[in-house]
Chains A and B, each alone.
Chain A
Amino acid sequence: MHTLQDSLTPSPTMPLSTGETSRERRPAPLIFLILLWLSLLIAVVFLLTLIVNIVLEGGSRFGAQLFTEYPASSPDRAGARPAILGSIWVIGVTAVLTIPVGVAAAVHLEEFADKHHWFNRAIELNVQNLAAVPSIVYGLLALAFLSLLGVRDKNIVIGGALALSLLILPVIIIATREAIRAVPSEIRDGSLALGATKWQTTWRQVLPASVPGIATGSIIALSRALGEAAPLLLLGALVFVSFDPNGLLSGFTTLPIQIFNWTGRPQEGFHELAAAASIILLGLLLLMNGLAIFIRNRYQKRW
């Protein structure tokens, strides 16, 4: 018997997943389905073209030299070592700065805040707004702040980390809130009933339960920071750097900035190097996103 469920789930006995019987085959729903698939296909084809383009152009330069050598005036001697290390440094410091603050803010908003108080509603509104602010405005903010402090050379690790931390802070707050919200109230109530204080409940029950969600959100946010170049440009990042970063006040460059630098140069060899460095960057991003998805799938508790 032909049921409603049959209409909605595709099955081998149904001629069209459009929910029609063979008697009423009309072109419109089929065309619609084709258009939908087309839209997805265009996006996928674009992505594949991009990746193939990069791999083809950069494949020849992808080798040990890319990882161990410093930028040079000739592409045959150049490598992305300072950029790779700089990216690790900046993302590391960003993580240390932004994850504790973001998680703490989210805990406050979810667990301890009175949702009707003006202060907390203002914070919520601000978080939403800040998430939509263009990344270059964060660069302007960092530039102004460092100028205020009288810092001469603003192209330092802590400067870049500051700009990126503020950039991804709203994302981490939002993701952490989602993770905390997903923990059912029964857990909290049970803990309170056993005599724990609110903070003990949060610290020992709610937060551990939200760790997978927080980890996923943080990793995705950090991967976004990894790919950012605009805020760093304002701090004067487009510099020929031929040394490893060695401290919070050290000069630095990152992979996106190095790629920007190299693709702007005329020699074809530098374009190939930029493509090779893009492969590294994409690889890192895939790794981070993969890790986030893995954590989400493996550890996410379904309550």
Chain B
Amino acid sequence: MLADTTASKPEALTTASTGGPTTPSGHPPRSLFAGRARPGEAVIKLVLRLAAAVAIVTTIGILIALLVPAIGFFREVPVFEFLFGDRWAPRFADASFGVLPLVTATAWTTAIALLVAVPLGLGAAILLSEYARPGLRKVLKPILEILAGVPTVVYGFFALQFIQATVLREWLQLDTGAFSVLAAGLVMGIMIIPTVASISEDAMSAVPMSLRQGSAALGANRMQTSLRVVFPAALSGIMAAVVLGISRAVGETMIVAIAAGNQARIVTGPLEQGQTMTGFIANAALGDSRVGSLEYDTLYAVGLLLFAITLLVNFISIRLVRRFRQAY
């Protein structure tokens, strides 16, 4: 009987006129009384749609908020000078607007953070997904969640006062000053471990057991199975995890604002200090920038660059995932 009504009354059965929504099971809704849907429901559906539209509005808002002052900025400063200049002194009388120093500092802190987060995160993920008993998982997963939950301010001052002052300068006697990209990068890496670990672990858990059993049947030990079967099978998810780690590292503000330093200079080594893009925005926020002034516009120009880099990284991640996804 249900099938009859589906065939004969397609209009009444769809509750919205945008081509027919589908439920998660993929079938059109099969209410017999949809034609008598209460009028309030149309309002509710509109409200829901508006709520969902907030996501688009936010993105448009961000784009407008960043572009308008940035365009004002680029009227004063040529794009080429901004992107490739190597002297960043925007607020001084003899001003320069070359953003390269900020980009090098961001690159260094991100690279160091990844060097820490990717091996440790993947190691933790393989351990959790391939080796650990359920009891161990219940203990270790919350620990990783706590690691992710520590506020970045707390991490930042730990980086400055313990890692930089005590570990790097006192214990290891390294030739470094009060700030360094190494201290900031190390701590940032630890902060990102849970991100890399949890997404990689999800990806590895999704690999069917049959693959592991097949590998064992061929005589492989667990290490070989993990590295040569599970890891490649979960590669798309693992890549997504690494890329998400990259975008978190690039966008992190407090740790670098506190521990990496304040001087905008081309960073050439891990023990040097430097100012990242986010560090510049945070530091500039401590002063005052009048709306419409060049200082204000500079803030948003750097913000736009940051946003663009994050979008690019996200885009690459989606592409990579699609390319390497193995469907089971």
Chain A: residues with CB nearer than 8 A to chain B? 4, 7-8, 10, 17-20, 28-29, 32-33, 35-40, 42-44, 46-47, 49-50, 53-54, 100-102, 104-105, 107-117, 120, 122-123, 126-130, 132-141, 144-145, 147, 166, 169-170, 173, 181, 185, 188-189, 192-193, 195-199, 223-224, 226-230, 233-234, 236, 238, 255-256, 259-260, 263, 271, 274, 278, 281-282, 285-286, 289, 293
The answer to whether the Cβ of B208 comes within 8 Å of any Cβ in the partner chain is no
Is A281 a contact of B65 with CB atoms below 8 Å?
no
List residues of B whose CB falls within 8 A of some A CB.
Answer: 2, 15-16, 18-25, 27, 29-34, 37-38, 41, 44-45, 47-49, 51-56, 58-59, 61-62, 64-66, 68-69, 119-124, 126-127, 131, 133, 140, 142-147, 149-158, 161-162, 190, 193, 212-213, 216-217, 220-225, 227, 244, 247-248, 250-254, 257-258, 278, 281-282, 285-286, 291, 299-300, 303, 306-307, 310-311, 313-314, 318
A130 touches B190 (CB 8 A): no
Can you identify 28 A-B contacts, CB atoms within 8 angstroms? Answer: A7-B222, A19-B216, A40-B124, A46-B190, A47-B143, A54-B158, A114-B16, A120-B52, A123-B53, A126-B58, A132-B244, A132-B248, A132-B251, A134-B247, A134-B252, A135-B251, A136-B282, A137-B62, A137-B303, A140-B303, A169-B58, A192-B30, A193-B2, A227-B152, A228-B152, A230-B152, A234-B281, A259-B151
> Are the C-beta atoms of B55 and A108 separated by less than 8 Å?
no
Contact of A53 among B131, B162, B225 (CB under 8 A): B162
Complex: how many Å from CA A260 to CA B286? Answer: 12
| A274 and B222 within 8 A (CB) | no
Main secondary structure on B side of the interface with A: helix
Contact: B56 with A122, CB < 8 Å? yes
Q: In the complex, what distance in Å separates the CA atom of A89 from the CA atom of B220?
A: 57
> For A110, A129, A286, which residue has the most chain B Cβ atoms within 10 angstroms?
A129
B324 shortest CB reach to chain A, Å: 18
In the assembly, what is the distance between CA of A234 and CA of B56, in Å? 23
Contact A130 B59 (CB under 8 A): yes
A112 touches B16 (CB 8 A): yes
B147 touches A47 (CB 8 A): yes
Which residues of chain A are near B51, meaning CB under 8 Å? 100-102, 104-105, 108
Q: Which residues of the partner chain B approach A18 to less than 8 Å between Cβ atoms?
A: 221-223
The reply to whether A132 and B314 form a contact with Cβ atoms under 8 Å apart is: yes
Q: A169-B58, A188-B25 are in contact. Are A140 and B281 (CB under 8 A)?
A: yes
The CA of A293 and the CA of B207, in the complex, are separated in Å by 25
Separation of A281 and B157 alpha carbons in the complex (Å): 14
Chain A residues within an 8 Å CB radius of B258: 260, 263
Residue of B at shortest CB range from A129?
B314
A8-B213 in contact given A39-B127, A43-B144, A111-B23 (Cβ < 8 Å): yes
* Interface contact A136-B119, CB-CB below 8 Å: no
Residues on A with C-beta less than 8 A from B34 are: 197-198
B220 — which chain A residues lie within 8 A by C-beta?
19
Q: Which single member of A37, A112, A281 contacts B21 (CB below 8 Å)? A: A112
Is B251 in contact with A112, judged by CB distance below 8 angstroms? no
Measured in the bound complex, the distance between the Cα atoms of B156 and A233 in whole Å is: 15
- Chain A residues near B61 (CB-CB < 8 A): 141, 145
When the two chains form their complex, are residues B251 and A43 in contact, meaning their CB atoms are under 8 A apart? Answer: no
Q: Which of the residues A4, A107, A127, A271 comes within 8 Å of B48, measured between beta carbons?
A: A107
A133 touches B307 (CB 8 A): yes
Q: Which residues of A contact B25 (CB under 8 A)?
A: 185, 188-189
Contacts of B59 in A (CB 8 A): 126, 129-130
A137 to chain B: which residues have CB within 8 Å?
Answer: 62, 66, 251, 303, 306-307, 310
Residue among A19, A116, A274 with most chain B CB within 10 A: A19
Complex Cα–Cα for A114 and B303 (A): 34
